[in-house]
Amino acid sequence: MPRMESKDQTSRLLVKFSKEGDASFLSHRETMRALERALRRSGLPLCFSEGFNPRPKVSFSPALPLGVKALAEYLEVKVAGPADVELARERMNQALPRGLEVREIRLMPMHIPKLSRWARYGLYRVERGEFGEGEVIHLVLSLAGEEQGRLREALEILGFGEIGSYGFSVTRVGIYPSLYEAVEDAGGRALYYDGKARVLRELEGDEL
Amino acid sequence: MKGKGENIENFLYGNLHKVTTPGRYLGVEVNSFHKPFYSSHVRWALIYPDLYELGMSHLGLAVLYEIINEREDSMADRAYLPWTDMQDLMRDKGIPLFGLETRRPLREFDLVGITLQHELNYANVLRVFALSGIPLRSEERGAEDPLVVGGGPGAFNPEPLADAFDLLVLGDGEEAVGDITEVVREWKKSPSRDRKGLLRELCRLPGIYVPSFYRPHYREDGTLAEVEPLEGAPLPVRKRVLVDLNSYPYPRRPLVPLVESVHDRASLEIFRGCTRGCRFCQAGYIYRPVRERDEEILLRMAREMIDSTGFEEISLTSLNSPDYTRIDSLAGRLADEMEPLKVTVSLPSLRTDTFSVKLAGKLRRVRRAGLTFAPEAASESLRRSINKGVDEEDLYRALHAAYSEGWRKVKLYFMIGLPGEREEDVEEIGMMLRRILKGKGSREPLVGMHFTVSISTFVPKPHTPFQWVSQLSLPEVARRHFILRETLRMKGVTFRWHDREMSYVEGLLARGDRRLFPAVVRAARRGCLDNWTEQFSFSRWEESVREEGLDMAWYVERERDRDEVLPWDHLDCGVGKDFLWSEFEKALRGEITPDCRFDACAGCGACQGEVRLRLAADGV
Ligand code: SF4
């Protein structure tokens, strides 16, 4: 069992989860509730907020637009003591609606900044064809607010309709601290949408 | 047949992004059973004829869902009424209403169970038929169509909708669904599949009402002469009573809503029935006698529910939870056990007394929403006539207890239009508030306390001592609202009232008979979905009733004679008509009938044979 020794005995866990199929139609809020309830059943020694309605101390990666699938989303949770993360992962997966799945739970070393600090870029895979059998486009977006609008704008420039309509599908593949890592994961080449300037341009790993 | 399921699936994945809150239509909730749709199973679809957020909050259906799915010979799926954007899309693409888990049209199920929770849901019920394509009238359905089963409090006078139902369950459903399943299972194996024969068999089960086997005969003045049983159907139909609630400790693993719902928490039903005897309250008569669950069983159920759901709150539900014999012990133990899990324990209903306030304080809940008390009437004489055994002193004491516990927001419920109400009684509501706010005698004024006074219109309900009386006319309700608006104009008081036209339609359907069915159909076709306020239209109801040559006021405002045959007389909730009449007379005299839970049996008739009052402290 991985242990974490620190003065106050609290530590942070990073929970990586995917959101596919039916679950991609759950809103951010609904996803958070489902995960919180699964956390309550995980056996982890959660830290709770004070007050009349105590809630586990959890933060989530930035909201995902409705209808977009995701392979590697994150939540960060504060725990009050040693934790059996493998057992917790299994328990959570029994307590989640179909389509939501915990992939991994990791202890966060103290020097790693908070999720909200490093979750800066999202890599999206846009696939033509209803079942993802068509051409694949890699798209990187900044996650600093308004990503919902940005994704829509970028898709519009690419000539796609509303998220969820026939003919293509969108998956957020991962979340990264820097453009470089996002582009690298895309295979060294991706489109980057600059939301402020409203321009879509090609990025290559070597440039960065 | 196979193609249809796929159609629905394709439709969903191609359209879910277009509707509000698509989570309502996914059916992948934690603890959903997803049993296969084998034809060897008896296949139930359980319907709550309103939005997902309400349907998912309903305890009764949650219980039946588990009981049916745990059986080896049956399965249950469920559906709610889609929001209008989804309804439009479904109609456009020719998609019928479907079970959320199987994604199969309701038409393909053996049994479609619909709960009748409220009269203002009746138009919604007809919308369920319209969306599912199930023929509306029982007589129009053939061997391939599902049997449509009704249940819930509305089953005690389902007459305005009776033509739409093949059968209804009166009373507790826990055992009845099993009985029905067995009969249908055998019938499915029979070569002839004779529908009438099946109904004939079903109507012999206790608590089962098959409307087509009862023919009403009317007199010239429009009142009923008699209801004639056919095919050897029983008269009256006695309600089903679960003798011992401990034998059905459900739900165990309730569904966890995907979308934030009205009651997004675990509900622990601590007892059924209430014998306080408030004379306006239908629930207080049709669910008798009181049957408490044992404390240990409740604790076990609570643990199991929290373990299996991760809910952050558990609510002790019943018609009047502080009445539970061992409430202090139960609440304390539960709160202690739930504390390390950070699960809060809450109490939805409060009596008007200090005990309840202290209890609520101990549970540290409700604070956000504020406290609610229901004195129902402001004048002592009126409270006596409705058998509400609280006096103004009790209310003061409860309010002061609440005040010193730190509550600053209180909701007070009152009713207008109770039998015998005079103008002074209406004015008394304002005077009572003034006395409370000013402080009286040695009592401190409640500085900074804010009151919301919520006024509803009394609607006479079947199977109550007031089933014979007249409901207020619309202009009269308006006049009394005006008086209230004037007399409640004071600092620290907010005045709210129910829509008087909605209460009028509620009254029409509550005491309606079968002749109203075509009118309800018309109103529903015109788009009435009354519960969804923006879709309520009184003029459409008026037109619909008029076009059928009927008169709303005859149903709503007419006082009935003692001897009149009432449209629900053939449905027996256990409490006798003579008892109800004697209660009505006592109401007129302002006489109190004590609660048989704490006092002597009042002889209402609900206890018979094995069925009796059961208290947790009995140690049975
Ligand atoms: S029969 Fe007597 S004890 Fe039973 S519910 Fe009625 S009044 Fe109460």
pLDDT tens figures, B440-480 = 666 777 888 899 999 999 999 999 999 999 999 999 999 99
Q: Are residues A99 and A188 in the same domain?
A: no
Amino acid, res. B464: T
- pLDDT score at B396: 86
Quote the number of domains for chain A: 2
Tokens for B65? 């869902």
pLDDT tier for residue B1 given thresholds of 50, 70 and 90: very low
CA dist., res. A30 & res. A36, Å (int): 10
Q: Tell whether A188 is covered by a domain.
A: yes
Most confident of A190-204, B295-309, B312-326, B351-365: B295-309
Q: Do B312 and A53 touch (CB under 8 A)?
A: yes
Q: Are residues B188 and B283 in the same domain?
A: no
Q: Tell whether B429 is covered by a domain.
A: no
Q: Tell whether A2 is covered by a domain.
A: no
- Lowest-confidence region among A138-152, B8-22, B321-335: A138-152
Average pLDDT over residues B250-276: 95
Q: Are residues B201 and B350 in the same domain?
A: no
Q: Tell whether B559 is covered by a domain.
A: no
Q: Which residues, numbered 137 to 166 in chain A, qualify as contacts with chain B under a Cβ-Cβ cut-off of 8 Å? A: 162-166
Q: Do B259 and A52 touch (CB under 8 A)?
A: no
Gyration radius of chain A over CA positions: 18
* CB distance B595 to B279 below 8 Å: no
Q: Tell whether A105 is covered by a domain.
A: yes
Q: Tell whether B516 is covered by a domain.
A: no
Collapsing DSSP to helix, strand or coil, B133 comes out as: coil
Q: Tell whether A1 is covered by a domain.
A: no
Amino acid, res. B163: D
The residue contributing the CA closest to ligand 1 atom 4 is B607
B86 vs B528, which has greater pLDDT?
Answer: B86
Hey, which of B241, B292, B573, B596 would you mutate to test ligand 1's pocket, going by the most ligand atoms within 8 Å of its Cβ? B596
- pLDDT score at B447: 81
**Average pLDDT along chain A:** 88
CATH number at residue B76: 3.40.50.280
**Domain-ending residue, one of A116, A137, A168:** A116
- pLDDT score at B563: 95
**Domain-ending residue, one of B201, B217, B233:** B217
Q: Tell whether A155 is covered by a domain.
A: yes
Helices A85-94/A28-40 angle, 10° precision:
120
Q: Tell whether B292 is covered by a domain.
A: yes
Q: Tell whether B78 is covered by a domain.
A: yes
Question: B104 is in which domain, residue-wise?
Answer: 5-27+37-217
Query: Does A43 lie at the interface with B, CB-CB under 8 angstroms?
Result: no
Which tens digit of pLDDT belongs to each residue from B314-340?
A: 999 999 888 999 998 999 999 999 999
Average pLDDT over residues B336-352: 85
Q: Are residues B56 and B185 in the same domain?
A: yes
Q: Tell whether A6 is covered by a domain.
A: no
**Average pLDDT along chain B:** 92
**Pairing state between β A199-204 and A168-176:** unpaired
Q: Tell whether B491 is covered by a domain.
A: no
Cα–Cα distances in angstroms (integers) from residue B316 to residues A29, A54, B135, in the given order = 27, 19, 40
CA dist., res. B504 & res. B556, Å (int): 7
Which tens digit of pLDDT belongs to each residue from B385-416?
A: 999 878 888 888 888 888 888 888 899 999 99
- Lowest-confidence region among A32-36, B300-304, B352-356: B352-356
**In sequence order, which residues have a C-beta less than 8 Å from that of residue B10 and are 6 or more positions away?**
none
Question: A56 is in which domain, residue-wise?
Answer: 11-116
Q: Are residues A25 and A85 in the same domain?
A: yes
**Domain-ending residue, one of A116, A149, A175:** A116
Q: How far is the CA of B541 from the centre of ligand 1 (A)?
A: 39
Q: Tell whether B387 is covered by a domain.
A: no
* CB distance B315 to B270 below 8 Å: no
Q: Are residues B276 and B199 in the same domain?
A: no
Q: Are residues A15 and A99 in the same domain?
A: yes
Phi, psi angles (nearest 5°) of residue B95: -100, 120
CATH number at residue B259: 3.30.750.210
Question: Does the structure show a pLDDT above 80 at B3?
Answer: no
The residue contributing the CA closest to ligand 1 atom 5 is B289
pLDDT tier for residue B138 given thresholds of 50, 70 and 90: very high
Q: Are residues B195 and B285 in the same domain?
A: no
Q: What is the largest CA-CA distance in chain A?
A: 55
Q: Are residues A131 and A145 in the same domain?
A: yes
Q: Are residues B208 and B305 in the same domain?
A: no
CA dist., res. A79 & res. A107, Å (int): 10
Q: Are residues A24 and A107 in the same domain?
A: yes
Least CA distance to B9: which residue of chain A? A22
Respond yes or no on whether the N-terminal peptide bond of residue B567 is cis (omega within 30° of 0). no
B6 vs A105, which has greater pLDDT?
Answer: A105
Q: Tell whether A4 is covered by a domain.
A: no
Q: Are residues A169 and A182 in the same domain?
A: yes
Question: Does the structure show a pLDDT above 90 at B29?
Answer: yes
Hey, which of B274, B291, B604 would you mutate to test ligand 1's pocket, going by the most ligand atoms within 8 Å of its Cβ? B604
- pLDDT score at A2: 47
Phi, psi angles (nearest 5°) of residue A182: -65, -45
Give B449-476 as a 3 state SS string: CEEEEEEEECCCCCCCCCCCCCCCCHHH
Q: Tell whether A169 is covered by a domain.
A: yes
**Domain-ending residue, one of B217, B252, B278:** B217
Query: Does A49 lie at the interface with B, CB-CB under 8 angstroms?
Result: no
Q: Are residues A80 and A125 in the same domain?
A: no
Cα–Cα distances in angstroms (integers) from residue B253 to residues A165, B31, B552, in the given order = 36, 6, 45
Quote the number of domains for chain B: 2
**Residue of A28, A41, A68, A96 to mutate when probing chain B, most B C-beta within 10 A:** A41
Q: How far is the CA of B318 from the centre of ligand 1 (A)?
A: 18
* Nearest CA-CA partner of B170 in B573, B610, B607, B612: B573
**In sequence order, which residues have a C-beta less than 8 Å from that of residue B130 and are 6 or more positions away?**
B136, B524, B525
The residue contributing the CA closest to ligand 1 atom 6 is B604
Burial class (CB in 10 A: 0-12, 13-18, 19+), A122: buried
Tokens for B376? 């129902």
Q: Do A30 and B23 touch (CB under 8 A)?
A: yes
CA dist., res. B162 & res. B125, Å (int): 12
Phi, psi angles (nearest 5°) of residue B286: -75, -15
Q: Are residues B71 and B183 in the same domain?
A: yes
* CB distance B375 to B387 below 8 Å: no
* CB distance B410 to B378 below 8 Å: no
- pLDDT score at B527: 79
Q: Are residues B93 and B197 in the same domain?
A: yes
CA dist., res. B534 & res. B543, Å (int): 18
Share of chain B above pLDDT 70, in %: 96
Question: Does the structure show a pLDDT above 90 at B435?
Answer: no
* CB distance A89 to A113 below 8 Å: no
pLDDT tier for residue B222 given thresholds of 50, 70 and 90: very high
pLDDT tier for residue B349 given thresholds of 50, 70 and 90: low
Tokens for B96? 């019928």
CA dist., res. B293 & res. B545, Å (int): 45
Is the distance from the beta carbon of residue B613 to the nearest atom of ligand 1 less than 6 Å? yes
Question: Does the structure show a pLDDT above 60 at B206?
Answer: yes
CA dist., res. A13 & res. B107, Å (int): 48
User: Looking up tokens 């990264």, which residue turns up?
Assistant: A176
Tokens for B266? 């675990």
Question: Does the structure show a pLDDT above 50 at A143?
Answer: yes
pLDDT tier for residue B538 given thresholds of 50, 70 and 90: very high
Q: Are residues B195 and B249 in the same domain?
A: no
* CB distance B141 to B176 below 8 Å: no
CA dist., res. B225 & res. B287, Å (int): 28
Q: Rounded to two decimals, what is the model's pTM?
A: 0.94
- pLDDT score at B207: 97
Q: Are residues A41 and A70 in the same domain?
A: yes
Average pLDDT over residues B144-153: 97
Q: Tell whether B398 is covered by a domain.
A: no
Tokens for B532? 């969804």
Tokens for B418? 């109770």
Tokens for B39? 């034809």
Q: Do B18 and A26 touch (CB under 8 A)?
A: no
Q: Are residues B150 and B264 in the same domain?
A: no
Q: Are residues A86 and A177 in the same domain?
A: no
Average pLDDT over residues B4-24: 87
CA dist., res. B270 & res. B319, Å (int): 9
**Pairing state between β B167-169 and B74-80:** unpaired
Which residue among A46, A99, A166 sits closest to B28, beta carbon to beta carbon?
Answer: A99
Q: Are residues A110 and A130 in the same domain?
A: no
Q: Are residues A104 and A201 in the same domain?
A: no
CA dist., res. B103 & res. B548, Å (int): 38
Please report residues of A whose CB lies closer than 8 A to that of B258: 26, 30, 34, 97
- pLDDT score at A147: 60
Average pLDDT over residues B73-96: 96
CATH number at residue A20: 3.30.70.580
Q: How far is the CA of B607 from the centre of ligand 1 (A)?
A: 6
Q: Are residues B211 and B250 in the same domain?
A: no
CA distance A180 to chain B (A): 32
Tokens for B593? 């009938």
* Nearest CA-CA partner of B439 in B410, B472, B400: B400
CA dist., res. A154 & res. A150, Å (int): 6
- pLDDT score at A168: 87
Q: Which helix (H) or strand (E) holds A150?
A: helix A147-157
Average pLDDT over residues B124-144: 95
**Domain-ending residue, one of A55, A85, A116:** A116
pLDDT tier for residue B366 given thresholds of 50, 70 and 90: very low
Q: Are residues B213 and B248 in the same domain?
A: no
Question: Which letter does DSSP use for residue B256 in this model?
Answer: B
pLDDT tier for residue B39 given thresholds of 50, 70 and 90: confident
Q: Are residues A88 and A131 in the same domain?
A: no
pLDDT tier for residue B2 given thresholds of 50, 70 and 90: very low
- Counting other chains too, the contacts that B320-323 makes at CB distance below 8 Å and 24 or more residues apart are B320/B274, B320/B276, B320/B349, B320/B351, B321/B270, B321/B347, B321/B348, B321/B349, B322/B347, B322/B349, B322/B350, B322/B351, B322/B353, B322/B355, B322/B356, B322/B359, B323/B271, B323/B274, B323/B276, B323/B290, B323/B351, B323/B597
